[in-house]
Structure 1
Amino acid sequence: MEENAQKSCQSSRSVMTQLIFPSDTNHHGTMFGGKVMEYIDKIAAIASMRHARAAVVTASSDSLDFVAPIRLGEVIELVAFVTWTHNSSMEVVVNVHSENPLSGERKLTVTAFLTFVALDEQGKPVRVPEAVPETEEERRVHSGAPGRYQLRKQRRNQRQSPI
């Protein structure tokens, strides 16, 4: 990769749409959290691969906030994009909206931040292009990324220190 490579956040933008069936729900008639997490990890991986044009692995799930329940029969739309990069790592934001397909009512249901690392053919970390925000939403999320990066580093350091 060239030394000063840059890519727009928009170039990694990825969208997934799913209809929620009974097998996706719990006894409350709402979607299993673990199933939502699976979809979030998939769409974030796709966004990361689009940005890096390389294989990626999930390094962390920094936050996953369930804002509202997703109900049986609703449609969910997951939107992900790379918000920020640091050497071989990429922060990805995922927003999940649910929609009642009969009324058209939409609401934000889940937000998440994950980190992925790009790998070369030998499975070693490889440098990724810098993520460049262009829209107001991208600039807002990008501006908070250095702080989230520092929190990730602190968590990693705490795990490595003896108890």
Structure 2
Amino acid sequence: MTVEQIPCSVSRVVKSQHIFPNDLNNHYTLFGGKIVADMDMIASLSATKHSRKPCVTASIDYVDFIEPVTEEDFISYESFVVLTGKSSMIIFVKVIAENLITGVKRIAATSFLTFVALEDGKPATVPKVVAQTEEEKSLQAIALERKNNKRTQIEQSKSVAKILSKTLRSSN
């Protein structure tokens, strides 16, 4: 039996929007939380396009906020699957800000998000992803390195949860 292989480009999604005053914080830059929420939303579209199954967010790697986004900008989110496991997919999201007056573009933020495909509420097998461009191949290598390091982070998170659970039980 051969495993289905799908190019990264099949899952590519792009979303652009204008920045409005109600999107800004007290520093007159776009709320970081809005960027993260929009990253999660667009990554979910890429995960679903790749797997053609309902998907849930399993984790969001740290988000690197590289350049501020202001009201003079419009913002574009671009996402695509760069690495797959049995039921998981790592989606890379880049956020590009473009000044509407000058046309200058800059990378505003990046992140890797992990999604799991579901069938009947349980993890489901996903097709393998194939990186074709140099950008995709580079990001796939970075995602693989991060995935290997993530196992340690997950164990640390479980330890923290265990400590916090003890605190919760003792406060009841």
Q: Does TM, scored on the shorter chain, surpass 0.5? A: yes
Amino acid at match of 1:156: I
**1:125–1:3: structure 2 CA closer, same or farther, 3 Å change rule?**
farther
Question: Structure 2 unaligned runs (5+)?
Answer: 164-172
1:125 pairs with 95, 106, 123, which one? 123
User: Are the counterparts in 1 of residues 15 and 78 from structure 2 also a CA contact under 8 Å?
Assistant: yes
- Give 1:158 deviation, angstroms: 2.2
Match of 1:156 in 2: 154
Report the alpha carbon displacement of residue 87 of structure 1 after superposing the two structures with TM.
Answer: 0.4
Query: TM-score, normalized by length of structure 2?
Result: 0.90
CA-based RMSD:
1.3
Q: CA deviation at 1:44?
A: 0.5
- 1:125 and 1:50 mapped to 2: Cα distance? 16
**1:136 paired residue among 130, 134, 152:** 134
Q: How does 1:1-163 map to 2 (within 5 A)?
A: 3-120=2-119, 122-161=120-159
Deviation at 1:144, TM superposition (A): 2.1
| Alpha-carbon distance between aligned partners in 2 of 1:6 and 1:105, rounded to the nearest angstrom | 37
Q: Distance in 2 between matches of 1:158 and 1:78?
A: 31
In structure 2, give the amino acid aligned to 1:125. P
Shift of 1:3: 4.9
Provide the rounded CA distance (Å) in 2 between the counterparts of 1:73 and 1:144.
Answer: 32
- Bigger Rg, which one: 2
Show CA shifts across 1:14-44 (max 9, x none): 0010100001001111000001111100010
Larger mean CA deviation between 152-161 and 95-104 belongs to 152-161
Paired AA for residue 93 in structure 2 = V
Give the distance between the partners of 1:61 and 1:91, measured in 2 at CA. 9
Provide Cα deviations, 1:115-144, integer angstroms capped at 9, x if missing partner: 000001x11000101010000000111122
The answer as to whether partners of 2:72 and 2:101 remain within 8 angstroms in 1 is no
Amino acid at match of 2:74: V
Aligned length: 161
- State, as a whole percentage, how many aligned pairs show the same letter: 40
**Structure with the higher fraction of residues in helix conformation:** 2
Q: TM-score, normalised by structure 1?
A: 0.94
Deviation at 1:159, TM superposition (A): 2.6
